[in-house]
């Protein structure tokens, strides 16, 4: 275990097994259709890569970058698109791939923007869900794991751009961010 982690919540093997289950479910639900996976940069890239390689339906990949207006997330949910999609999603079946849904404010903004482009369907697939923290209702169609209200890192999730490449998901020791 990495020395900055207090506890490992999900090991690499547990993560991969769960993503395979999700991929089976999604492949069944979208049989005979093509899906556009809209991945929110950067955290969701790890999750998307493993999910996409396990899917048994044709997919197109696209990416959205979002930037917070307020440094340090002082105003959660006040975000803007810093990198837009390359493709037109009108009439397409679209799945937004997120690393974690916390308050839901970021996704509410993104879903509003994307639904205005008139896709045929629009659903959310998130790797982690901190649903006890939700401030706005978000229709999460697929979720990897429900997690407690703790700050986690690994498998794409960062603190200050670090820890993304950890193969597991773990709770970050509070000393790491309190000591700054």
Active site residues: 102
Residue among 102, 123, 127, 144 that touches ligand IMP (CB under 6 A):
102
Applying CB under 6 A, the span of 27-35, 50-58, 89-97, 102-110 interacting with ligand IMP comes to: 102-110
**Residue 100 touches ligand IMP, criterion: CB under 6 A:** yes
Applying CB under 6 A, the span of 8-16, 29-37, 51-59, 93-101 interacting with ligand IMP comes to: 93-101
**Residue 103 touches ligand IMP, criterion: CB under 6 A:** yes
The two three-digit tokens of residue 6, written as one number: 């207090």
**Residue 105 touches ligand IMP, criterion: CB under 6 A:** yes
Closest CA to 71 of 160, 157, 177: 160
Residue among 30, 46, 104, 122 that touches ligand IMP (CB under 6 A):
104
Q: What is the DSSP letter of 130?
A: -
Q: What is the DSSP letter of 151?
A: -
For 164, residues 6+ apart whose C-beta sits below 8 A from its C-beta are 42, 43, 46, 153, 154, 155, 156, 157, 158
Residue among 18, 52, 76, 131 that touches ligand IMP (CB under 6 A):
76
Q: Is 113 exposed, middle or buried (0-12, 13-18, 19+ CB in 10 A)?
A: middle
Q: Which positions touch ligand IMP (CB under 6 A)? A: 43, 76-77, 99-107, 151-153, 157
């Amino acid at each position: 275990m990495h020395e900055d982690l207090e506890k490992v919540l999900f090991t690499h093997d547990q993560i991969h097994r769960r993503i395979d289950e999700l991929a089976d479910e999604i492949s069944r639900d979208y049989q005979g259709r093509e899906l556009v996976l809209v991945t929110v940069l950067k955290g969701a890239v790890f999750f998307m890569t493993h999910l996409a390689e396990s899917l048994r339906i044709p997919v197109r990949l696209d990416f959205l970058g979002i930037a917070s207006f307020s440094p340090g997330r002082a105003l959660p949910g006040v975000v803007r698109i810093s990198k837009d999609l390359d493709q037109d999603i009108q009439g397409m079946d679209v799945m937004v791939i997120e690393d974690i849904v916390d308050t839901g404010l970021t996704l509410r903004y993104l879903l509003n923007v994307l639904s205005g482009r008139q896709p045929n369907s629009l659903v959310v697939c998130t790797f982690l869900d901190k649903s006890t923290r939700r401030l706005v209702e978000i229709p999460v169609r697929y979720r990897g794991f429900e997690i407690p209200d703790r700050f986690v890192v690994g498998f794409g999730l960062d603190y200050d751009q670090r820890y993304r490449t950890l193969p597991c998901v773990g709770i970050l020791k509070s000393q790491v961010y309190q000591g700054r």
